Amino acid sequence: MNSAKKHADTLIEARWIVPVEPAHRVLEHHALAVTDGRIDALLPIAEARATYSANETVELPAHVLLPGLVNLHCHSPMTLMRGLADDLHLMEWLKEHIWPAEMKHVSASFVYDGSRLACAEMLRGGVTCFNDMYFFPRDTARAAIDSGMRCAVGLIVIEFPSPYAADAQDYLSKGLALRDEMKVEPLLHFCFAPHAPYTVSDETLRQVAIYAGELDLPVQIHLHETLAEIEQSLQSHQARPLQRLADAGLLGPGLIAVHAVHLEPSEIALLALHGCHVAHCPSSNLKLGSGIAPVAALLDAGVNVGLGTDGAASNNRLDLFAEMRLAALLAKGAGGDAAALPAWRALEMATINGARALALDGQIGSLKPGKLADLTAVDLSALELTPCYEPLSHLVYVAGREHVSDVWVNGRRVVDSGTLRGIDCNELVARANFWRDRIHTL
């Protein structure tokens, strides 16, 4: 007599599964079993049917199942500023348009509405986790929870006052209180988010380093984004920004250097030596004219590089499929080497590398038994995706976010055949238009 079948909450049967770890692997005609929000097994479909009795079986006959994408750097509420001031240099864009709009309009309700809009956009594009940096982080956290999405909440620190906080100490105290209050939420993780060396003092950077060490939290910071930033640092501090972080004690495996466009070889070696991470935001870097980050050199040096979108005000999309493709093409073009950044590495940057930077690679970023079931399915049956010789390559060079069919976070299906579950899209659009009308009067 056969023994009783094992129970699974969900059994997902796919034409292909790309687990990301180990690299290059593509499993054909396999199934993934989910129990209590975690991956229980990956095995051939016939074996899965014989082994499991599932509450729900999802058949994906022309699909690739892969880990949920990880957006390593985002300002989610800035969806409400999408297209507000395009085609400008970074500092002109910030000082003359974005910062004045923020000072006038940013509030808890602005952040909540903008973050919900961002969560909806990202979920429909296969992103299951995002690392955020913005004012009123409690409201971004609430939006993520309400959307059923995983979020690394950035505890923003900056010297100048805003509607959220009065000074650096106020930012720090409010951020620490938020972390203490919400650290038990299963979808939330936290990191310190000092804005940039040009907006944060040496004293505050040292404080952040101390708190991050005591609480074992990552630190994300905009770094070496433009040549002007570096020139300003040399004039004001007689040191390049990365050296200021080193002097403050921030270099280490908890540091996520956002952008990292302008790096000297010695600085790449320094990041590698200390086990730092880089959040590569290729679309934002190009749109603001900041430059092309030396991604191939960073990867060759052993630096972990993940992918971010940056905010919708400077991208203008929260689309990691676009970032994967662009990252791969830029690396090839910049180095004159078609093998510089192959598709499998670009996919790693959008999944396990981002998870690793957030110290979440033991939980998400690849499909392994025991990991949380953060999953994305991509339908490769469309005319523009046909024929398909290599599904892993197709994910990076051909497929787009519009081909995402289903998404699970913590084993819960949040996108079902392209439709968001539990999210009123009409209400999100109405709120976005409300804020557009208010901001347009600036």
Per-position pLDDT tens, the chain of length 442:
356 899 999 999 999 999 999 999 999 999 999 999 999 999 999 999 999 999 999 999 999 999 999 999 999 999 999 999 899 888 888 889 898 999 899 999 999 999 999 999 999 999 999 999 999 999 999 999 999 999 999 999 999 999 999 999 999 999 999 999 999 999 999 999 999 999 999 999 999 999 999 999 999 999 999 999 999 999 999 999 999 999 999 999 999 999 999 999 999 999 999 999 999 999 999 999 999 999 999 999 999 999 999 999 999 999 999 999 999 999 999 999 999 999 999 999 999 999 999 999 999 999 999 999 999 999 999 999 999 999 999 999 999 999 999 999 999 999 999 999 999 999 999 999 999 999 985 4
Q: Rounded to an integer, what distance in angstroms lies between the CA atom of residue 49 and that of residue 142?
A: 38
| Strand 188-194 with 150-157, pairing | parallel
SS3 216: coil
> pTM (2 decimals)?
0.97
Which residues are paired to 192 by β-bridges? Answer: 155, 219
Structure tokens at 256: 């996520």
Going from the C-alpha of 219 to that of each of 195, 283, 392, the distances in angstroms are 10, 22, 31
Residues of the chain with CATH 2.30.40.10: 6-67+369-410
- How many Cα neighbours within 13 Å face the side chain of 295? 32
Which residues are paired to 27 by β-bridges? Answer: 17
- According to the model, what pLDDT value does residue 99 have? 87
Phi, psi (rounded to 5 degrees) for 257: -85, 115
Q: Rounded to an integer, what distance in angstroms lies between the CA atom of residue 242 and that of residue 359?
A: 22
Q: Rounded to an integer, what distance in angstroms lies between the CA atom of residue 124 and that of residue 414?
A: 9
Residue whose token pair is 């396999």: 30
H helix runs in 35-167, sequence order: 45-51, 90-93, 99-105, 108-124, 137-147
Would you identify the CATH topology of the domain 6-67+369-410? Answer: Urease, subunit C; domain 1 (2.30.40)
- According to the model, what pLDDT value does residue 3 have? 67
* Long-range contacts, 238-241 (Cβ 8 Å, 24+): 240/267, 241/196, 241/197, 241/198
Sign of the Cα pseudo-torsion (354, 359, 361, 363, in order): negative
- In 3-state terms the chain splits into helix, strand, coil percentages (rounded to 5) of 40, 25, 35
Helical (H) or strand (E) element with 33:
strand 27-35
Residues of the chain with CATH 3.20.20.140: 69-357
- According to the model, what pLDDT value does residue 1 have? 37
At the top level of CATH, the class of 69-357 is: alpha beta
